[in-house]
Every structure is written in structure tokens, then in C-alpha cells.
Amino acid sequence: MLKIKSISKHFGGVKALNGLDLEVGEGDIFGIIGPNGSGKSTLINVICGIYRPTKGDVTFHGQTLSGKPTHQRLKTGIARTFQNIRLFPNLTVWQNLWVARNSVEDIKTESSFYRWFGKSIIVKKEIEEMLEFSNLENRADELASSLAFGEQRRLELARAVATKPRLLLLDEPAAGMNKDEIRDLDSRIRSLQLQGITIILIEHVMELVMGVTDRIAVLNFGSKIAEGNPQEIQKNEAVQEAYLGYSEDD
Amino acid sequence: MDFYLNLINTIGIHTMLGLSAYLLLQTGQLSLAQAGFFAVGSYTAAILTVIFQWNIIPAVLAAMFLAGFLAFLVGFPALRVKGLTLVVATIAFSEFVRMFFYNLKWRVTRNGEEIGPDGTMGFAEIRYFSDNGWSNLEVTFFLWTFVIIVMGIVWWSDNSRSGAVLRAVGEDELAASSVGINLTVIKVSAMTAGGFIAGLSGGLYAHQVTSLDHHSFTVLLGTFAIAYPILGGLSNVFGTLVAVIFIQGLLVEGLRFLGDWRMILFGLLIVLAMNFKPLGLFDKHTIGIIKRVIRV
Amino acid sequence: MKHLSKLMGASLLLIALSIPQSAIYAAPSLKVLGWGAKSGPLKSFGVNSEAALRSAVAEINSAGGVRMGDGSMAPMEVIGYEDSACKKDEAIAILRKTASTTDAIVGMGTTCSGVCQAMFGVLQKKVEDTSDSGVQMPILADTCIRPGLAKISEWSFRNVPNEITMYDELFKWLRTAYPNVKTFTGGSETDQGHSFITYTAIIVQMAVKHGFEWVGPAVPALGPKVKQGMKELQAAAKSQHWLMGDTNYTVQARKIKKQNADMILVASHPFSACGFMKEMKRQRIKPKLLVGLTSSASQETLNGCMSAAEGIIIPTGFAPITPEAKKANNIVSKAGGFLDLHSSAAWENAYLVKRAVERAAIMGRPDTLQQDRRNFRNALASISSQKGLIGPLTRDGSTGEAEKPYVYVQVVNGKWKVIHDPNS
Amino acid sequence: MEDFLYEVVEITQTIWDGVLFGSTYALIGIGFTLIFGAMGKLNMAYAGAAIAGAYVGLAVSMFFDAPIILVFAVSALVSTLMGYIVYQTCFRFIPTHNHLAALMASVGGLFLIDEVIVLATRGSPMNFPALFEDAYFEIGPFGIRGDLIFVFFIGLVSTVVLLYVLFKTRLGMATRAVAQQDVAAQLCGINIHRTNSITFSIAGLLGGIAGAMTAAAVGVLSPVIILPLTIKGLIVTVIGGLGSIPGAIIAGLFVGGFENLFLYVRGIDERDMYVVALLFIFLVFRPNGLFSKTINRD
């Protein structure tokens, strides 16, 4: 569903992405790994339209995304989370989720006036579901900034899901999490897959990546050095020297 | 009595002026263009009631729409820039408007008297209220109906999703756009709404002072427009009201008995207020205290 | 909303504090309340006028005070002198405050024309017009010189020289006194209504009327009819005008230098008049005659540019030429103010009030306040002539425009010196 | 042909005067740009503080008939102090991320300074000693004001010195470090508040010179010139490109010449309109000003 055709992104002299090709299939959980500075986050920013690629094109369901601003890409069904959490700290948990209701379905189902100035039953119900999903039911009216780190991660994920995406980009969602939290995240990601959401997972935490993903691409210096299912990747020498050496002492 | 009513009217007008800046401030944009919209509103309404003999209600509504439309037009180019650049651009805009009215000459003769804007001589005898025998009390009721309506609308949108979206944009534009918010649309609509409110309050102001000239619409007016919400705090609309009462009621009128020292204290108190309450006089902390007080 | 009411209460309390508590004065007295700019760049207006008003009132009282309606003599009392900061909103607030919360017979202020324009607009237009809900309070302004303000309301009075006749006479006299002066040009500050309108509609017209020749940009048929060719003049002479806050006058000065006229008119307030005259000095522009705007016949001009202003001739409503004027001048200077055409009006106003009160049989009791004010207004309107500091003040009952004696002063060796008194 | 020649001369002269005078705008602009560069904040009290400095200098000259240079020195010194005070009162204790509060505080500071001046002088315009009164050279058809040349010269010198301080001294490094990455700078053991207050003082120093020079060039000092100076300074800052010192200088000179030219051809009522129009043109075609820095990643 998502095709990345020979994408390059240069910052001055730095080649963050260098002629990268990727294809992500409908319903997959697609892992992207690679050492720091290998261009993973840049890739996400390119897919979301925060950076304009120097060369190449991204197509989603056959239609090109180039030239589309971020908020329109979301309407085509691409949502994301950030490596360093970016919630709206002075908004309540509820409001954080409420703000995110910009999906095409939402716009269809509600009259625009009601969408901006009202609060329908459906909205209440759906946001309740989101709270449940990120088990923050009892924190709904607290400021996002008052949440604990793990809770903030969950809220950000919920906020991304609340935009009803077809493709969800997770930028190191497990960073700084302990084992149980990671396990919990794992199940959450699987449940999203069951809802038919395609997921691109960028992660350093190998147990999560190797456990949950269907396919993995390995980046190094802005280009793909390997792609395959977890087992293949673990065997691949190129990867081992570029990466796994690094991941064992991780 | 008359005097208190007059003060209440002034507070009403300035509250609306402050609220016109309130919305855009929530999106994190600092605009000094309110003075321009205010000027457009007041001149338009005054010209309509004086030269075209309109009733005041359609006059102020027309003023409101004109100013709103202007804000809409200005919004697109202006909001491409932000921060200091936006401040300066909007200062420039309101200076431009001021200079326009400062060059505007439109005299008509009605029963022997020349009336209408007269360039730098100003626009005198906008006497709609007294010509129609409105008592000052009636004026106050008339004026505050608008104030309450405006406050109500802003309060409502503040507590609905639109308010949340405005604040979201103000807090983190990148995150906002990545949950599908169209920044331009939000900012421009905030500015347009501000223009509407500013125009309305300008239209009422013109009839309150009965005489306009370019001196009334300098950068200082624009500064006051943003001063009210900032001083009061952006947590809700009453902050602006509190700030207006603080400045107009306390600093300007209340301290008169201090004579020469009044204006010195004026600046000083603003500095102190911002140092001790950087989030506004009516910030969460204050609200907390009030809640406790009410409970007791 | 408790907090709101609290804050409201607090500020209202303070406002109440700020209201002159006139009730506490037991003995009947005649109360007046004045206001003027006591903050902002025009502070000097307020300070001087207050000094003049208070010392004049003191004079009156030491001479026995004023005769009230019941025949008794009562002291005159200034129950306050508010700061209107030369801002419309504040002046209107003070006006309404005076009218509604004090028992002052008359409000005495202010000096700034733009402010008067707004204040007078709030007043009732015609006295007998009951359908008009404007404020009913007599206002006696010192100066407010901008032409045409008098007609705004019948409750408004000004004590101000009539600029039209003033400049008319001036140029008539200059014509004879300086026969070798033929041509003239000049500039003004366009953002100050009074300076600009006086310059284009009066000064230039009168100069032309008395046979001086405009060498500025070509303007079809200026004067002698007042306002004739005014628009063309405004348009043509744009680039030799300036703004009050300007810092660079090189262009204007050079334009005027090139015209090389015998007489140059500098129609602006001291702030910019000084800047411009200094630039003239730098560019070595030495006209045979330098004529200024009434408003700069003040101490400020000397503070600002004594040497550059040397030789400028200005018609003014005050100069210490008569014994009374000298006396008043000394008293006011002791009180810490300067007596100039603005503040001398404040002094004279005190005596105008005395006269009007004695005509109107004021009772000065709270219950008669409204009636008193009305009578006072009528009495004041009926006064067609009154002895002023340097000659009779007269007022045209039909137009309401005041007439006031004036003299021509010139800066000689850094001092204002009277060079001609048309009345003598 | 005569007229044409005359016009050419006049217009050259006009622009020339304007450019010379522009150096005062340039200095004010540098002040704004310095502070903005260092803190990303707008100090509305800046021009006010500058003029206040000039007033104190004037007072000195009035009481001890000091030589003009001393007047300049005192002005510069005082507004250096003012810059420091303004930082301590309006910026120091307000959370760094809270730009609005800081802006408002500095506006309050502006009112305060303005009113103190008025209280001291009754708002009356004050005669300011001109530098060498009669230095007006006439070269052929052109006239050149010696004092403006001097003003121009001082402007250039102080800029060069400033650039040296910023780019060659440790202090300058610190300032720029704070400007670019305050957290990182703090981690490197730079005391932000100290650095900022020094920046404000330096800006104040320039402001003092600018204020005194403006006053000397006009010959009259009055509170009414504060607001116009502030606005012109801001416009210059933006046209020059935020945080760019060379930009501020060139923009200042440019705006000075530009406005004088349009005063000459279009008259006083439209002059400022054209300045504003100039700003808009820049905002549309060159939103980052003359010397735009490269837009950073996000």
C-alpha cells in the first residue's frame, strides 16, 4: 500500500536518506531498524510530509503524496507518533484525543459546526474507547503534562489512533520502557493490527521488533542494506556487522 | 452614577477589544493589528450613522463585517510569518490603516453644517446616542448586550473542540499538523474572528466618544488589545475582563487621586504584575484560590 | 464570580476615593473643578493652567470671594484638578464624573483641541432641546483654539483669541512695519489638526490677503477669501510639511531654502518647530521674517531652541504688558507655573466664573445644583465682554466664538519681547 | 535640462541625507536584533531607555556645561545601565519560554520610562547641544552636515567594535552560544542570566549612542520621538533579517534614504505609508529579511 521510490533527503552535505526503496504491504507490521543516524526518523518525516524529499516519491494506495502538506496526508490515513513525545501538555487527556478527530469519517459523520462547537454522543463514545485502549479512563480530565512517562507514551499512541489511520508510523515507541511496559505495548500493537491498521515500527529494542514485526528493513547511512522477515534479518551478516553487534550489548 | 456607567461602558468596549486579540493569542500568534480593525470598525460605523443616517445596530454590524473581512484578507499573508516578524508586520498594518484615516476627507453638508471625517482634523459630532435621547443607562445596556454576547460566544468556543484546537496549535504546531489540523485555516479563522470582534467594539467606541481622529488608533491601542488577555491570562475569557477592570478601572480611573504619580504607577504595576504573575492575573493559581474561597 | 465583584468593589472604592469629597465643606462655597494634561508630553499645559487657576481663585478669595444668590459672599473653591492626559476617553470620563458625582458649578478644562472636540460632543447640543440626552454641564475651556469648536454645544465655552482676526491684524501690521518683505513660504506639522488647519486655512490666507506673495509650490488663487485655495495648498506643499515626532527635517528645509522667500511661516508646536528651525539654522536659511504658530509662544520654545528661534514673531493672547498681567505673572510663577496664552486663559476664566456667578444668582446648595448650572450657563452666555489680563475679552453670542486681545511677541536675546500691541 | 539637473542634485542630496540619518535607525535596529538574537524576545522599552540615556547626558551638560563628547559618554553609560535594569526588571524573573509576559513587562517599562521623563521635564522639548554647530560643508551644489557625517562615523565604529566583541571575544562566543542553544550553553557552564544581562547592557550602550546621536542630530530632545523611533527600529530589524547585525545596519541606512526620498517625491502624509509598503514587499518576497539565515530543519 505504501511505496517509497528512490527517496533521497540531503541536509546540506549530509545525506540522511540516499535513494531508498521500500514497499509496505496492507496489514503488515513493518519494522525499520538501523544504527543511530541511519535515517529512520528522517524517513518518517518524509512520509508525513514534514520534510520535502530531495529526490524520489512516496505513493500511498497508488496516489502520490508529494506536495501534500502534513495535515492532508493524515486525511489520506497516515498518522504518527514522535520519538520524543509531543503531546499538548496544557490540554487535558480528553482534549488531546478530542483535537485529533480530523479523519475523513469524522468530517463525514458530523456537521462541521457540530464538529467544532458541539460534543456528540458518538464522539464521547469513541473517545471513551480510546481512553480505555490506552487505559487512562480515570485520568481523562488531567493535564497531559501531569501524566507519567509511560502514560504519556500511551496517550500519544491513542491520539494517533484517534485519527483513524490506515497506516501508523511509530517512532521508537518503546524507548525508555521497562519489560512489562514493552510487553504491554507489544499486545497493543498487535491489537491495532487486528483492527486492520498497517504499522511501520522504528525501534532499537530488538525483543519488540523481532517479536512483533512481519517484515524488517535495515537502514544504514540512509540506504537499505537488508530486508526480510525477522529470522532472515537475524542471520544476515551485513546486518550483524552493521547493527547486531551494536544490539547485543544493548 | 453617570460616571460609573461611562466607566462600565469603557470597560465593556475594552473587554471586547481584548477578546479580539484573545483568540489569536491562543494559537501562539502575537498580532498588533487589532488597532487597525478597531479603527476600521469605528470609522465605518460612524460614517454610516452620521453621513448615511443609519440606525446604529445595522451600522455597528456592518462595521463588524467589514473589519472581519479585512482581517480575513490580512490573515493569509500576515500569518505566513510568526514571532517578531508578525508583530512588526501587524504594527505596520495598523499604522497603514491609521495613516489611511489620517488622510481620509469626506465632508458632506447637512442642514448648513459640514460633517464627516476631515483628515487630520478628525471626525467630530458622532452624537447618535444623545441625538436620539438615549440615557447613559440605556447606552450601557445596549453596549453590554454586545459585550455579553461576545464573551458568551468566546467562552463557548473556548470550551468546545475549537478552543482545544486553538490551544493545541499554540502549544505545538508540528504535533497539531500531524494530527491533521490545518494550521493556516485555524490561524486565519482566529484572526478573522478577532477582526469581527474588534470591528464591533470599534463601532460602539466611536459613538461612545463622539469624536475620532488618528491619535486614538496608534500602536499603543494595539498594545493594549494584547495587554488585556496577556495580563489577565489566557486560561479563560474572564481573565481579559479582570485585566480590563485592573487597567481601566484601577490604574486609569481608580488612581486619579494620585495626580501626577498615576501614570508612573501605571507602568510600574504592569511590570510588577508580569513579574509576579507571568501567566496572568487570572491564572490557574488564582482560579484555585477563588474556588477555595467560594467553597468556604 | 465572587472574585470579580471583589475586584470591581476594590477598584470602585478607589474611584470613590478619587472623587473630591466636596460634601465635607460645611460653609457654602462656590465649587469649580478643573482638568488638563498632567501626564504625557503635553504635561506643561496642565501644570501651568492649574497653577494659574488656583492662584487666580486664591486672589478672588482674598478679595472677598464671590457674591452668591442670597447676597452673602462665599469663597470660590477648586475642588480638584484632574489629569485628562490630553486623551479623549479620560477627558470624557472626568467630564461625566464632574457632572454626576460632584457639585461643581462649572468644569474648567481643557487645553487640547482634540479633547475639547470629544468633550463638547458629549454635551447637550442645544440647551432647550429636551430630546437631546447629552450631558448638561457648563464647560469653560482654556484655549482649545482649533477653529469651529464653539458650535458643537451651547454648554461649551472657550476663552481663546480668534486666530482669524489675530493673524489678519498681524500681517496687516507686518505689511506696514516691514515694507521690504514681499514673498513668503512655510511649513506645518500635518498630524496636529490645529497647527495644520490654522496654517492652511488662516495664516497663509491672511498673508496673501495682505499682499504677501506665496513663493511655495504653484497654487491657484490663494486667499484673500478665508479657506480659498486651501485644498490646493495642502496638496502642493505636502513635501515641506513634517510630523510632530519627526527627527529629520533636511528635505523640508532645503525645499524652503530654495524658494528663498523673505518671510517663512513655521506653523507647529515647539517639539517640531524647534527641530525645523534648528535645521534652518544649519542650512543657513536666514529669512527677513520668521512667523510662528500661536501655540509655540511659550516657555517650551525657549527651552527647546532659544537661539534658533531668535527673531520669530508670534501673535499670542498673553504677555506681561499691563499691571494686572505683570501681577498675575509674578503670582503664577511663584506658584510654579508659566503664564502663557494657554494658562493666562485659565486665570481669566476664574474671573469670568466670578462674574457669571454674580450675574446668575447662584444658590450653591446641593438641591439647587442643576438649576445653578443652567443659570450659570445662561449668565456666562450672556456675558459679551469682560476685562481680561491684557484687554477686554469679548464673545459673539451668535457663533459662540470668543474674541480676545492679543499682542505680537518676538524672541529677542532669548526672551519673549512684545514688539507690537494692536490695541494701543 | 536645467530642471532635470536640479532634480538629480536634489534627489541625490535627499537620499544622502536620509542615509546618513539612517545610521541612527541602524543602531536602534542593532539593539533590537541583538536582544532578539540572544533571547528571541522583543524589548519594547529599548528606544525609551535609549532616549532616557540621552536625557541624563543632557542633564549633565546643563549642570556642568560638559563637552559634547562627555555628554555622549554619559548617555551611553546611563543607557548601558538602563539596559541592565530593563533586563533585571522585565526579563530576568520571567520564565524564558514565556515571551508574551516578557513583552508585556517591557511595554510597562516603556510607559514607566516615558512618564519619568515627562515628570522630570514637564514633557517640554529640551535643547540638545549640537556637535560642532556650524559644520555644514557645501561642495558644489551639495550640502553635507558635518555632524551627520560624525554620527554616521560613530555608527560604523560602534558596529565594528560590536562585531569584534561578538565574534572574537569569549564573551561574544558565550552570547552567541546562548542565542543558538541556551540549554546546551548552560550545560557548558555558561551562566545564561549573566550573558543575557551583558547582551542587554551592550544593546543599551548602542542605544545610548543612538539616542544621543538622534538628539544631537535633531538638536531637540522630547518624549514624542520615542514611539516613532521604536517603530522605525523594529521595521529596520525585520527588513535586515532577525538577528543579523550587518542586515540591521544596511536596512537602517536603506530605510533612512528610502523614506527621505519618498518624503521628497510624495510628501509627508504618504512617506510612512511607503516605508510600510517597503516592509510588506520584503515580507512577501524575502520574509527572512536581507540577510536571511538558512531556515533550520523544523
- A69 within domain boundaries: yes
* C12 is a domain residue: no
Whether residue C7 is contained in a domain is answered as no
- pLDDT, position C22: 46
Say yes or no: D97 contacts chain A, CB-CB below 8 A.
Answer: no
A82 belongs to a structural domain: no
Q: Are residues A157 and A206 in the same domain?
A: no
Count of alpha carbons within 13 angstroms of residue C168, beta-carbon side: 9
CB pairs under 8 A between B and C: 140
pLDDT of residue C28: 77
Count Cβ neighbours within 10 Å for each residue of D156-186 and write b for 16 or more, e otherwise.
eebbeebeeebeeeeebebbbbbbeebeebe
Percentage of the residues of chain C whose pLDDT score is greater than 70 = 93
| Pair B128, B135: CB distance under 8 Å | no
Query: In the predicted model, is pLDDT for residue B106 greater than 70?
Result: yes
Last residue of a domain, one of A117, A132, A164: A164
Residues C294 and C383 in one domain: no
Find the residue in D nearest to B260 (Cα). Answer: D119
Please give the Cα distance from C347 to C284 (Å, whole number): 40
Residue C422 near residue C407, CB atoms below 8 Å: yes
A72 plus A182 within the same structural domain: yes
Domain CATH code at residue C140: 3.40.50.2300
**Within a domain: A132:** yes
Verify that C191 and C137 share a domain, yes or no: no
Please identify, among A132, A164, A196, the residue that sits at the C-terminal boundary of a domain.
Answer: A164
CA pair distance D247, D227, nearest whole angstrom: 22
Q: Are residues C308 and C347 in the same domain?
A: no
pLDDT over 60 at D297, yes or no: no
Same domain, A150 and A206: no
Q: Report pLDDT for D160.
A: 87
Which pLDDT score is estimated for D64? 82
Cβ-Cβ pairs closer than 8 A, A with B, add up to 79
Does residue B50 surpass a pLDDT of 70?
Answer: yes
* Residues A129 and A189 both lie in one domain: no
**Residues C190 and C312 both lie in one domain:** yes
Burial of C394 (0-12, 13-18, 19+ CB in 10 A): middle
Distance, CA of C339 to CA of C328 (rounded, Å): 8
For chain A, the chains sharing at least 3 beta-carbon pairs closer than 8 angstroms are B, D
Q: Give the C-alpha separation, C49 to C332, whole Å.
A: 9
User: pLDDT tens digits, residue range D110-153?
Assistant: 999 999 999 998 888 999 887 766 677 777 777 787 777 887 88
Question: Quick one: A132 and A231 in the same domain?
Answer: no
Position B198, amino acid: A
Q: How many domains does chain A have?
A: 2
- Residue A119: all three cell numbers together: 460534543
Q: Flag whether residue A54 sits within 8 Å of chain D, measured between CB atoms.
A: no
Percentage of residues of chain B with pLDDT beyond 90: 67
The domain in which residue C214 lies consists of: 163-316
What are the tens digits of pLDDT across the range D202-244? Answer: 899 989 988 988 888 888 898 999 999 999 999 999 999 888 8
Which CATH number characterizes residue A213's domain?
3.40.50.300
pLDDT for D134 = 64
A51 contacts in chain D (CB < 8 Å): 297
**Touching chains, C (3+ CB pairs < 8 A):** B, D
Which of B158, B174, B179 to mutate to test binding with chain A, by most A CBs within 10 Å of its CB?
Answer: B179
C105 and C191 part of one domain: no
Question: What confidence tens digit (pLDDT) does each residue in A71-113 have?
Answer: 999 989 999 999 889 999 999 999 999 999 888 888 888 888 8
With CA atoms as reference, report the closest residue to B196 among B70, B9, B8. B70
Number of domains chain C contains: 2
Distance CA C250, CA D78 (A): 29
Do A190 and A157 belong to one domain? no
Chain B CB contacts of C114 under 8 Å are 122, 211, 213, 215
pLDDT greater than 80 at residue C24: no
Q: Are both A69 and A170 inside the same structural domain?
A: yes
Partner B contacted by A88 (CB < 8 A):
yes
Is D125 an 8 Å CB contact of chain C? yes
Q: Stretch B27-36: mean pLDDT, rounded?
A: 92
Do C269 and C192 sit in the same domain of this protein?
Answer: yes
Residues 72-131 of B with CB under 8 A from D: 77, 80-81, 83-85, 87-89, 91-93, 95-96, 99, 102-103
Whether C262 is in a domain gets the answer yes
Interface probe for D, chosen from B26, B84, B255 (most Cβ of D below 10 Å), is B84
Instruction: Give the residue among D232, D250, D234, D64 at the shortest CA–CA distance from D159.
Output: D250
Q: Are residues A138 and A235 in the same domain?
A: no
Residue where a domain terminates, one of A164, A195, A219 = A164
* Complex prediction ipTM: 0.91
What's the domain range around A151?
A: 88-164
Same domain, A136 and A72: no
Interchain pair B10, C89: CB under 8 A: yes
Between CA C137 and CA C135 the distance in angstroms is: 6
Looking at the fold, whether A139 and A154 belong to one and the same domain comes out as yes
Range of weakest confidence among B33-47, B75-89, B91-105, D44-58: B75-89
Confidence of residue B90 (pLDDT cuts 50, 70, 90): very high
Mapping DSSP to helix (H, G, I), strand (E, B) and coil, where does residue A172 land? coil
Measured in whole angstroms, the distance separating CA C418 from the mean position of its chain's CA atoms is 20
B176 contacts in chain A (CB < 8 Å): 88, 99
pLDDT tens per residue across span B184-233 = 999 999 999 999 999 999 999 999 999 998 989 999 999 999 999 999 99
Please say if the pLDDT value at position D296 is more than 50. no
* Average pLDDT, integer, range C222-231: 74
Measured between beta carbons, which residues in chain C are less than 8 angstroms from residue D125? 270-271, 274, 300, 303-305
Task: Note the CATH number of domain D2-285.
Answer: 1.10.3470
pTM, two decimals, is 0.92
Say what percent of chain A tops pLDDT 90: 46
Residue A108 and residue A217 in one domain: no
Residue C222 has pLDDT above 50, yes or no: yes
Contact call for A101 and B160, based on CB within 8 A? no
Contact B214 C132 (CB under 8 A): no
In terms of domains, do A189 and A142 share one? no
How do A215-220 and A223-228 pair as beta strands? antiparallel
Closest CA to A167 of A23, A69, A20: A23
**Within a domain: A136:** yes
pLDDT at C423 over 90: no
Residue C11 pLDDT: 61
Say whether both C189 and C235 belong to one domain. yes
Domain contains C412: no
